[in-house]
Amino acid sequence: MASFSENLKLFSDQQSHVLSGLMDLTYRPRRLRRTASLRSMVRENNLSPNDFIYPLFVHEGNQVESIAAMPGANRWPLDRLVGEVERAWNLGIRSIVLFPKVSEALKTEDAAECFNEKGLIPRAIQLLKQEMPEMTIMTDVALDPYSSDGHDGIVSPDGIVLNDETIESLCRQAVVQAHSGADLIGPSDMMDGRVGAIRESLDDEGFEHVGIISYTAKYSSAYYGPFREALDSAPRGNSNKPIPKTKNTYQMDPANAREAIIEAQLDEQEGADILMVKPGLAYLDIIHCLRQESQLPIAAYNVSGEFAMVKAAAERGWIDERSVVLETLLSFKRAGADLILTYHACDAAKWLRSSG
């Protein structure tokens, strides 16, 4: 057995060997991290404003309204909307998505306002296409902003969210949006078969050129709270019938991953052009999974709850907002997303420009 002094000498020799830089290493990954130019040269993923879809809330009022749960996000009146979209365009953003804050007086159990040709969203699309025809406009197809029950579908007298009956309204909504000038129709309702039905309706009306960006894997998530405050679109009580308190019977179970593959396969077969995962940050594995399963473009929705958490922590000085946002958005690209819907779009575009 070696003595203490012999072991000490052996350790000392090993340390001297290490400190002299003579470790026998073939692979040294740090070689390619040594300088900024080297890191840039081998970077696997990059962010660009072209990756972003900027969500915008619109309303019928005359003022820009701040949203308490989403600092920095606003509800835009139509006469101010063009200016905000121009700002996004000048920052390099080439796509937006519109969400309506609908007057309570227009909300009904059948959500018929959703396919009103003179409604808020059709007028917003027409205005933007007149003023900024090159901007890609995506819409939201679902009943919850227009429903007095606050659900994405029609609720039966016994409290069941009806699938097939809802799809008829969704198809009418999609056609109205396409007629108004929408480039991408975004069904977010999670009704079975709605992508195929919408594709057929659009084609029948001569809108073969209008694409479908499907909310393929939309989970029944707790991250949507600030969004529902922005639109006042959460499920609500009704004295005439029982209203489900959650959307668990149609939005996906957060415990499930394989089910997302089934949804993606169905949407692809039915004619979707782009597949979306919502939320994004807590579902990076789902983004990666769909990337492996499909050759279609994949979108990630960096949702309101994710946005609000970053804003709240940044306001308290607990995190550096710019660094966290850019790292988060990059994580979507690394997981396999081609497109990112994010309320940080304009800020991120500015930060990317300044760092370039």
Residues ≥6 apart with Cβ < 8 Å to 349: 49, 52, 88, 91, 92, 93
Contact 181, 137 (CB under 8 A): yes
Biggest CA-to-CA distance, the chain: 92
Contact 214, 274 (CB under 8 A): yes
Q: Give just the sign of the alpha carbon dihedral 324, 279, 247, 69.
A: positive
Contact 182, 159 (CB under 8 A): no
Q: Which helix (H) or strand (E) holds 161?
A: strand 161-162
One-letter amino acid of 83: G
Cα Rg of the chain (Å, integer): 25
Q: Which residues are catalytic?
A: 218, 278
Tokens, residue 186: 């975004």
Contact 81, 56 (CB under 8 A): yes
In whole angstroms, what is the distance from residue 297 CA to residue 356 CA? Answer: 26
